[in-house]
Amino acid sequence: MSVNLKGRSLLTLLDFSPEEIRYLLDISEQVKMESRSRLRTERFKGMTLAMIFEKRSTRTRLAFETAFAEEGGHPVFLSPNDIHLGAKESLEDTARVLGRMVDAIMFRGYKQETVEKLAEYSGVPVYNGLTDEFHPTQALADLMTIEENFGRLKGVKVVFMGDTRNNVATSLMIACAKMGMNFVACGPEELKPRSDIFEKCQEIAKETDGSISFTSNLEEALASADVIYTDVWASMGEEDKEKERMALLKPYQVNERVMEMTGKSETIFMHCLPAVKGQEVTYEVIEGKQSRVWDEAENRKHTIKAVMIATLL
């Protein structure tokens, strides 16, 4: 099957087929090898990327900015203080102007509606660097990291511990469903996955021979898990709920006992970062030999570069 993603936006992985995701992962592997060999090409020479940030960022900004610049392109950082994003000028008009001046747009912020409107009105590829609902570039890096460790994706069991309805958990669930993996959301009932997306992922998994499930029971979730994944207990913009979340999520902390409950010494630990060591994960686990968080962070760059190569060239 021939895959052509030129001109496409990445707003959520729900819009991408398993074959298209496989294509992005293959390019990711290629550009990682190029990076390791210090090969520098200029695929984006003469191109410009607008990077709009409503939310702070370390990995997403570095990944997009360095990936685009390494390929000879010019990334332009834009904060809400720099442009009229829905203030004094409609979002639609801002999108139209950007589309006339740049080759692609990256957005990291709050509303999914914002990134969707940018894609609708700009006429250029738009990349979702995180919204309150989805974080697709993180999920691609997660898939790459898992495949590097196990040599495959199909059939790998991934357990997400904690707040299973957040944007990272949601995008990872979608990615696992698309690639025929076994995803278990493990957390309190109060923070279970959004029902419409959960049911959609279950439907997708039936077609790919994967599985999607939710449980509050640690023993049930962790048995034979290949990957244990977690995220902060209070996401950006939810800091006022931290005490409430700590009470709800304390039983789902990833510690050495939790890692042992898989019954497999080869189980790996993953986290999208930044992490609050001592809350959602203990220092011993995130800094231990089963942790792959730094590989995962690096792979943000390679997968993001792959997305841009596939959609711009």
The tokens for 94 are 């801002």
- What b/e string do you get for 39-51 counting C-beta neighbours within 10 Å, with b at 16 or more? eeeebbeebbbbb
Angle between helices 18-36 and 293-312 (to 10 degrees): 110
Do the beta carbons of residue 269 and residue 259 sit within 8 Å? yes
* DSSP per-residue string spanning 248-274: HHGGG-B-HHHHHTTS-TT-EEEE-S-
The tokens for 154 are 């199909």
What gap in Å lies between CA 204 and CA 182, rounded to an integer?
12
DSSP code for 58: S
- Provide the phi-psi class of 193: left if phi over 0, else alpha when psi is between -120 and 50, else beta: beta
Nearest to residue 297, comparing CAs of 266, 262, 272? 272
The tokens for 132 are 């309150």
CA 110 to chain centre: 15
Sign of CA dihedral 169, 173, 179, 184: positive
Which residues are identified as catalytic?
108, 135, 138, 231, 272, 300
